[in-house]
Chains A and B, each alone.
Chain A
Amino acid sequence: MKSRILLFSLFFLILLVLPTPNQAQGCQGVMSPSYSTYTSLSLDSSLHIYTTVVVDGSTVIHQSEYCNIGGATHKGSVYNKLGSTGGWVYGPPVPPAQYFAVTNPQEIIGVPGVVYTDTTQADVLCSFVGGLFNSGPGNSLIKIGIANYILESWDSTNCTYMLYCPNGNTAASCPTATVVDYGGMQAEIPCNQLNYHWVYTLVFNGKCFPISVGVGTTVAHICQ
């Protein structure tokens, strides 16, 4: 009697662990995630800082007829937090083979000299296995630098200014010796009536980005 119970228990165990017909087909191939990411950065004359992150691509499925992926979905998500603004943007769950692009644009009004952290990441999650693609977290330091210039000369069209930082020229993040306000003499207030010129520059991870915004003014500003 004891042996019969043991035998019955073993038979039951076999039934439990035997693969179902669907599982037994196995998965001869694999899925290859193929996603690309890009982070753009910009600044406008109102000192808005813009960052946008995108993940674009699809998962390449090989020999899908052997894979038991019925019901699986993939979902792209993009994290973009600029200063204290932003967070995750989630794409919808889609079939594993679908191609998609998810973007996450953020903007803040920047204060010159203040350093903002932009944290970014792009993920693709599979409903069956979890993390499928991860771009890795990116932490960037973004700052609006400002340099002050003083009027040096002008002609009938342009004004030329030279670097002049009240707190010392070494304080400027992205200095150039001179700047020219092209066409400034034709402006509503001709540039030769504005003794100073401020140039805002975007500083990304300590390097000057080729974005600058110039403003004519009558007041000097410390450089940052």
Chain B
Amino acid sequence: MSKLFLAALVLALSAIELQAQNSTTHQHEQADMIDGSAHPELIPDAVAYRLYFVVISENPTPLPNESRRQHAHLQRAGLKENDIRAAATVLANFKVQYALLLDQYSKSPEVLRNSSDGLPLFIVKRDAIVQATRDALKSALTPSGMASFDTHIQREKTMMKVAATEVQP
């Protein structure tokens, strides 16, 4: 009987150990960040433009306070009135396309089965929208307006914190 008891005790302890090992289920890594206030030069332009566009873009028919806010941001970027109007149209297009892409990705089979397998393709499409928006701004704005805009984005990197995976994927 004592042997049986000992065997049961060993089995119980093994089970507890196994349970402890499985406590790693749904484990997360600590996020590494690039702090733009310390190292703005490490933040890629594609990331900086994307974050800026996400913040200042408004819907094609914005509310009055949304228009005021966007106007203030674009004025701070050094744009004159005609360039602000042109940029607002381009940025509205960005907002629509970005929202559509995020919506499509959220409904993708990969995301629905908790997989990031579709992420590389999503990132390609996301960055293509950002680049297309930059190209559209270049066409729509005056050269001096675009130069001010580009300078502004470089300055704004100091206000960004970017995931290290965006810098070295």
The answer to whether A and B interact is yes
* A residues with CB within 8 A of B: 3, 6-7, 10-11, 13-14, 17-19, 23-24, 26-27, 30-44, 46, 48, 50, 52, 54, 56-62, 64-65, 67-70, 72, 94-101, 103, 105, 107, 126, 128-129, 132-133, 135, 209-211
Residues on B with C-beta less than 8 A from A96 are 114
Contact indicator A40/B156 (Cβ below 8 Å): yes
Contact indicator B8/A10 (Cβ below 8 Å): yes
Contact indicator A26/B114 (Cβ below 8 Å): no
Closest to B99 in A: A101
Residues on B with C-beta less than 8 A from A133 are 31
Q: How far is the CA of A88 from the CA of B142 in the complex (A)?
A: 38
Counting CB contacts under 8 A, is B132 at the interface?
A: no
Inter-chain contact total with CB atoms closer than 8 Å: 191
Contact indicator B116/A62 (Cβ below 8 Å): yes
Contact indicator A17/B73 (Cβ below 8 Å): no
Residues on A with C-beta less than 8 A from B76 are 42-43, 209-211
Nearest-Cβ distance from residue A50 to partner chain B, whole angstroms: 5
Closest 9 CB pairs of A and B: A38-B51, A44-B72, A42-B72, A34-B163, A10-B8, A33-B31, A34-B165, A36-B162, A61-B116
Write out, one digit per residue, whether chain B residues 1-44 have a CB within 8 A of any chain A CB (1) or not (0). 10011001101100110110110111111010100000000000
Contact indicator B28/A36 (Cβ below 8 Å): no
Contact indicator A64/B116 (Cβ below 8 Å): yes
Given contacts A32-B29, A50-B72, contact A56 B111 (CB under 8 A): no
Contact indicator B69/A105 (Cβ below 8 Å): yes
Contact indicator B159/A40 (Cβ below 8 Å): yes
Counting CB contacts under 8 A, is B71 at the interface?
A: yes
Nearest-Cβ distance from residue B63 to partner chain A, whole angstroms: 11
Nearest-Cβ distance from residue B87 to partner chain A, whole angstroms: 14
Contact indicator B26/A17 (Cβ below 8 Å): no
A-B contact pairs, 22 of them (CB 8 A): A3-B1, A7-B4, A14-B11, A19-B22, A24-B18, A26-B25, A30-B28, A32-B165, A38-B51, A40-B52, A40-B159, A42-B69, A52-B55, A54-B55, A64-B116, A68-B26, A94-B106, A100-B102, A129-B26, A132-B28, A135-B33, A211-B76
Q: How far is the CA of A68 from the CA of B106 in the complex (A)?
A: 20
Closest to A15 in B: B15
Q: How far is the CA of A37 from the CA of B156 in the complex (A)?
A: 12
Residues on B with C-beta less than 8 A from A70 are 114
Nearest-Cβ distance from residue A67 to partner chain B, whole angstroms: 6
Residues on A with C-beta less than 8 A from B25 are 23, 26-27, 67-69
Q: Which of B106-150 contact A (CB under 8 A)?
A: 106, 110-116, 119, 122, 126
Q: How far is the CA of A24 from the CA of B126 in the complex (A)?
A: 37
